[in-house]
Structure 1
Amino acid sequence: MTLSEKTKIQKIKEKLSLPKPWDNVVIFFLNILITIPIFIIVHQNIIDPEWFLHIDRVLLFVVILVIIQLVLRMLKTVIIICIFLYLLALIWGTLFGGYGFNSVFEDYRAMIYTMSDDANPQDIIIAKLLPFPNKSKIIDAVDYTNPKVRNFALKATTLHFQDVKGFREYRQTIQCFAVFAEVKKRWNYVNDPKGREYIASASESLQHFSGDCDDHAILMAALIRAIGGTPRIIHTGGHLYPEMLIGTKADLENVIYLIKEVLFKDESRGKEINYHIDERGQIWLNLDYTAKYPGGPFMSEEILGELTFY
């Protein structure tokens, strides 16, 4: 390589480099921006060894942080190219359904929400940081497209609350409550086989309406999804239960009126309506099998994870 060629390469590097101390500042923030989404993607796709206090996840985060810091420092003369490649990866994820700009925005908004004064302890969801137990099995078990699941959900809507008039805007919510009422009437709690976590699909649970908390949560999530509702399953450590999206705080007032004055008057008389508010301000109503009405008492308010079925 001639001297003139070396000089040209050096000039290109100088143009792509940032002046000190801004190069170290940019590297630090770029490291944080890259490490967090990479950590979230990795931890959600590897087996959870169930170490004490999830020390394995802490070590995983530290390892990723150190590796990216070393790489960025090695490439600090072309830091602008690194930023470009990072943005290119997010564009690819946005266009082809992977981890994109919207995913980054949602993850950071959730983290900011959990640090804000508006977040109640029971509303702080750290599902992004802790593995959801049996996640893939549960997702497969919520077989809402199964004809048996769809047909039962349709039948339930004809058995309850058909004579309720004047709430057209909340027709779907009322139908989901009808499904809750029918399952509540039939459900029989039965433990899993000793020493084994048995996860039944929604279509399987319809055969006997029996099972434990995760089987009930799976069934309710599938039935609500089958008639157009938006359910999610909450993990609290030793318990799983379903919730359903009812909308905004304005919707909450109307739904509470429906529950307490129209649909579940006797069951909810003098009782509190329990719900969670997520980082977007959306209201999720408790539908646990232990509740006698939608929004009944929580068995546990701590949220360690959630699976949402949009």
Structure 2
Amino acid sequence: MIQFNKENFYLIREKFRLKKPWDSFVVFFLSIIITIPLFIVFHQNLVDPQWLFGLDRILLFIFVFAIVYGVIYALRTISIICLGLYILMLIYGSLFGTFNFNSVFDDYNSMIYSMNNNPFPEDIIIAKLLPFPNKNEILRAIEYKNPKVRNFAIMATTRHFKHIRGYSEYRNLIQCFAVFKEINSRWNYVNDPKNGDYIASARESLLYFSGDCDDHSILMAACVRSIGGTPRLIHTKGHIYPEILIGSKNDLENVNYLIKNVLFPEESRDKQLNYHIDEHGQIWLNLDYTAKYPGGPFLSEEILGALTLE
């Protein structure tokens, strides 16, 4: 009985084994795909001796590749079978589902980019510290159900990023970033009256796209919420600005790639994303009027309170 099973095993293995040189080609291809992210991890965490022409990193890449290649080659039959099944799943997903070849390519790009361009600066965890100033007036001014507010937000989604393909799970965020782009490209800062705090409604700010930081925050929050985004307002010493809910750190990797490579490549070149983490571990990205891209630099870091629009 044992002999029979062994014979069957060898017959199955021979049936699925690729002929030379195709087996070596597939193993080489898989090894490159796996080596690149592993190399980036080692590159970032090992001390750089700064050899001439980066020879130490070249040798490191060759070393990692040799180990990966050896392991995959030793298990090449199993590896090739798994690869074949994975490709069949992607074909099925392309025809009947949402996860397809483009999704894999986007996820791999996001992973590689995020490893090489760390989107995670120092985490700043905040909680509601003090009562939010003018809370009731601000909530009334965020007229996200007003038709004019929603129509403006919809207009922004047709003007910016409408033709971006893929990233279906981040479609709503992309549309909210379109709203950010439209508002911030038109905003004109105007002070409140002396000895007074004027709270303009979202509908009012649509007339001239002018006002101070709380007027901008109200308009941004109203428009983002009107198309399904989750905004909140941050109160600092002498300043209020809006943020948008991104999700987890895994979501931040993909959003980091989207912002810096697809949506705002010029505005965010060589810059970091700036965000806060709330008490639940959720990430919120800065949408201040001073920012040229979502996640731009904070104007002020002394957090006094947060007002979330559920």
Q: Normalising by the residue count of structure 2, what TM-score does the alignment of the two structures yield?
A: 0.60
The Cα of 1:121 is off from its aligned counterpart by 8.0
Secondary structure of the residue that 1:265 maps to in structure 2? coil
Q: Distance in 2 between matches of 1:207 and 1:189?
A: 14
Query: Which residue in 2 is equivalent to 1:291?
Result: 291
Residue 157 (structure 1) aligned with residue 157 (structure 2):
yes
Query: Which residue in 2 is equivalent to 1:167?
Result: 167
* Partner deviation per Cα, 1:60-106 (whole Å, 9 max, x = no partner): xxxxxxxxxxxxxxxxxxxxxxxxxxxxxxxxxxxxxxxxxxxxxxx
Q: Which has the higher contact order (CA 8 A, sep 6+)?
A: 2
Return structure 1 stretches of 4+ with deviation > 3 angstroms: none
Secondary structure of the residue that 1:152 maps to in structure 2? helix
Q: 2:127 aligns with which of 120, 125, 135?
A: 125
Secondary structure of the residue that 1:207 maps to in structure 2? helix
Q: Normalising by the residue count of structure 1, what TM-score does the alignment of the two structures yield?
A: 0.60
Question: Compared with structure 1, are the counterparts of its residues 255 and 190 closer, same or farther at alpha carbon in structure 2 (3 Å cutoff)?
Answer: same
Q: Is the 8 A contact 2:153 2:224 kept in 1?
A: yes
Matches within 5 A, 1:1-310: 122-127=124-129, 130-310=130-310
Q: Distance in 2 between matches of 1:158 and 1:279?
A: 35
Query: Which residue in 2 is equivalent to 1:52?
Result: none
The Cα of 1:125 is off from its aligned counterpart by 2.1
Q: Is the 8 A contact 1:121 1:302 kept in 2?
A: no
The Cα of 1:131 is off from its aligned counterpart by 1.5
Query: Which residue in 1 is equivalent to 2:26?
Result: none
* Structure 1 residue identity aligned to 2:127: I
Q: Distance in 2 between matches of 1:124 and 1:244?
A: 15
Question: Compared with structure 1, are the counterparts of its residues 252 and 146 closer, same or farther at alpha carbon in structure 2 (3 Å cutoff)?
Answer: same
The Cα of 1:135 is off from its aligned counterpart by 0.6
The Cα of 1:123 is off from its aligned counterpart by 2.0
The Cα of 1:133 is off from its aligned counterpart by 0.6
Q: Distance in 2 between matches of 1:273 and 1:126?
A: 22
* Structure 2 residue identity aligned to 1:123: I
* Structure 1 residue identity aligned to 2:195: G
Structure 2: unaligned runs, 5 residues or longer: 1-121
Q: Distance in 2 between matches of 1:243 and 1:283?
A: 10
* Structure 2 residue identity aligned to 1:217: S
Q: Distance in 1 between matches of 2:176 and 2:132?
A: 25
Q: Is the 8 A contact 1:122 1:302 kept in 2?
A: no
Structure 1: unaligned runs, 5 residues or longer: 1-119
The Cα of 1:122 is off from its aligned counterpart by 3.8
Aligned identity (percent) is 70
